[in-house]
């Protein structure tokens, strides 16, 4: 029998984790990209001996250090929340999910933490090459850290390389390499890290544009913009490429997410791509309502992007919820029936084992094995529970994709104006450059909304609903800690911004040697 679940507790736990994750991701992408840019600036200094490249490296390192420190603090809080608010999740999948996190801590975090002190305090204590090596190790460690965390997240999106043990009611790892080499994990890593490089380029461009608008540090700012715009343009194009590949993989591993991204309810062939649309907020799975109030559609394009072939079928929300026999799609309604049989068989197996009835236990286990792949669906109340918030995902995806296109054009403009030596006079472009770093953060958060909200209601895609993954706490307790964390994060963010603004206002002079 399925136990009663307090929806308030689940929602507060979701809200707290979302708050922490979104706050943490303010710092992570900047760390990933800025570490590489600092290493590149220092490489130019070592190769040329030009002290101006050293000034660039030291200035951007000072901003990297502030961002890195707060990013580490929020990351620790995030990992602790798995044990506080999601203890059932930690118990059921800890053997698998914990392995990449352990490797991240031992291999990646210790690597960047060890060399961070040398990078930041060792300018006059170590040789140029040793210091440069340390800077590159910090950059490598930062990105390796992201790799292992995104491998863990990728497994949540596409659980492979494991089995369910009915004796312990836990998922156990069978193949670490399958988890590590998962296409969705690799796609997550390449897309997330390249978007971090993009954000760091926007950050450097924004600060440098501000210097030019104020008539300060002209040579410093123009050099920074030239490097950052080049790095940013390449990163932005790679983000678009990896985003397309990620969508292609999503069709095969999380078709409901892709359908929500496009507001697609009834699959068809060919399937058009919605370039612009206003979603009908009253539309529900299975009803006859129009999904859009208005839309501009590119005919057949979604078929091409999803299947790499024109004229092909792309499943919609209704197909996935209610099934489509023509395309061999088993609906959520049928999966729920199979899942409830699995839940019942698992309970019968445990009861028979406890009573010492071997024959009944074996019979129950046989029935369970027939339906165990649908176990998670047995905890859903109704088929529509498998549909994530369509409007939020639809709009978030278009914010992310639209801003990505804008960034490509922005960096191209900066490079053209830089090549023509017209940057200081182009004040409208410099103002856009200052503002665009905030658009970069919006694009980052929108991307994670698509990734994580689009996976709902699952903690582990298709296997473990969020409602089952929670801790057994009352909603009031989680609500109180939510507001405690909110207050803490606001204070930390204000402090971080004040430190960064002060460091920027001082300018690169503080980095002279």
DSSP string, 442-483: HHHHHHHHHHHHTTTTEEETTTEEHHHHS-S--HHHHHHHHH
478-508: pLDDT as tens digits: 889 899 999 999 998 999 899 999 989 988 8
436-445: pLDDT as tens digits: 999 999 999 9
Res 249: pLDDT: 92
Say whether pTM exceeds 0.85. yes
- Using CA atoms of 262, 265, 268, 272 in order, give the dihedral in degrees to the nearest 10: -20
Cα(182)–Cα(151) distance, integer angstroms = 8
Pairing of strands 162-165, 170-173: antiparallel
Cα(22)–Cα(435) distance, integer angstroms = 20
Q: Which two tokens stand for residue 309?
A: 């072939």
Q: Where are the domains of the chain?
A: 7-254+388-511, 262-280+292-319
Q: Name the pLDDT band for 465 (thresholds 50, 70, 90).
A: very high
Cα(305)–Cα(470) distance, integer angstroms = 36
Burial of 84 (0-12, 13-18, 19+ CB in 10 A): middle
Mean of all residue pLDDT scores within the chain: 90
Other beta carbons within 10 Å of 405: 11
Given a cut of 80, whether residue 4 has pLDDT beyond it is no
């Amino acid at each position: 029998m399925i136990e009663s679940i307090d929806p308030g507790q689940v929602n507060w736990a979701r809200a707290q984790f979302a708050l922490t994750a979104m706050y943490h991701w303010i710092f992570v992408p900047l760390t990933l990209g800025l570490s590489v840019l600092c290493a590149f600036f220092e490489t130019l200094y070592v190769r040329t001996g030009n002290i101006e490249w050293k000034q660039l490296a030291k200035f951007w390192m000072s901003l990297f250090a502030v961002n890195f420190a707060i990013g580490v603090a929020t990351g620790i809080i995030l990992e602790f929340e798995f044990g506080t608010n999601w203890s059932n999740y930690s118990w059921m999948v800890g053997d698998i999910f914990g392995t990449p996190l352990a490797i991240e801590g031992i291999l990646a975090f210790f690597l960047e933490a060890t060399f961070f002190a040398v990078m930041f305090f060792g300018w006059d204590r170590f040789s140029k090459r040793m210091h440069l090596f340390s800077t590159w190790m910090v950059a490598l460690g930062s990105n390796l850290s992201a790799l292992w965390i995104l491998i863990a997240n990728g497994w949540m999106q596409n659980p492979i390389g494991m089995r369910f043990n009915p004796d312990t009611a836990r998922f156990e790892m069978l193949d670490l390499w399958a988890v590590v080499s998962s296409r969705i994990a690799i796609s997550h890593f390449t897309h997330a890290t390249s978007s971090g490089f993009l954000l760091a380029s926007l950050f450097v461009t924004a600060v440098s544009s501000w210097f030019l608008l104020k008539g300060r540090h002209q040579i410093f700012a123009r050099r920074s913009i030239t490097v950052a715009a080049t790095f940013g343009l390449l990163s932005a194009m790679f983000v678009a490429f990896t985003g397309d590949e990620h969508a292609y993989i999503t069709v095969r591993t999380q078709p409901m997410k892709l359908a929500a991204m496009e507001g697609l309810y009834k699959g068809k062939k060919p399937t058009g791509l919605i370039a612009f649309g206003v979603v009908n907020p009253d539309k529900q799975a299975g009803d006859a309502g129009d999904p859009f109030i208005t839309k501009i559609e590119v005919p057949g394009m979604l078929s091409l992007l999803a299947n790499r072939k024109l004229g092909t079928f792309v499943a919609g929300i209704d197909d996935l919820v209610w099934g489509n026999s023509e395309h061999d799609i088993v609906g959520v309604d049928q999966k729920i029936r199979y899942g409830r049989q699995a839940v019942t068989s698992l309970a019968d197996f445990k009861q028979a084992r406890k009573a010492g009835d071997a024959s009944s236990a074996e019979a129950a286990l046989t029935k369970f094995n027939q339906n165990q792949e649908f176990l998670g669906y047995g905890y859903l109340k109704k088929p529509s529970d498998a549909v994530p918030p369509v409007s939020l995902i639809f709009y978030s995806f278009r914010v992310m994709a639209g801003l990505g296109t804008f960034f490509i054009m922005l960096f191209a403009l900066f490079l053209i104006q830089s090549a023509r030596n017209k940057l200081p006079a182009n004040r409208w472009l410099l103002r856009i450059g200052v503002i665009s770093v905030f658009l970069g953060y919006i694009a980052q958060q929108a991307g994670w909304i698509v990734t994580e909200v689009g996976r709902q209601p699952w903690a582990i895609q298709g296997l473990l609903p969020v409602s089952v993954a929670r801790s057994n706490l009352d909603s009031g307790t989680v609500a109180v800690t939510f507001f405690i964390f909110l207050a803490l994060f606001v204070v930390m963010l204000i402090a971080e911004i004040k430190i960064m603004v002060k460091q920027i206002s001082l300018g690169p002079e503080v980095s002279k040697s």
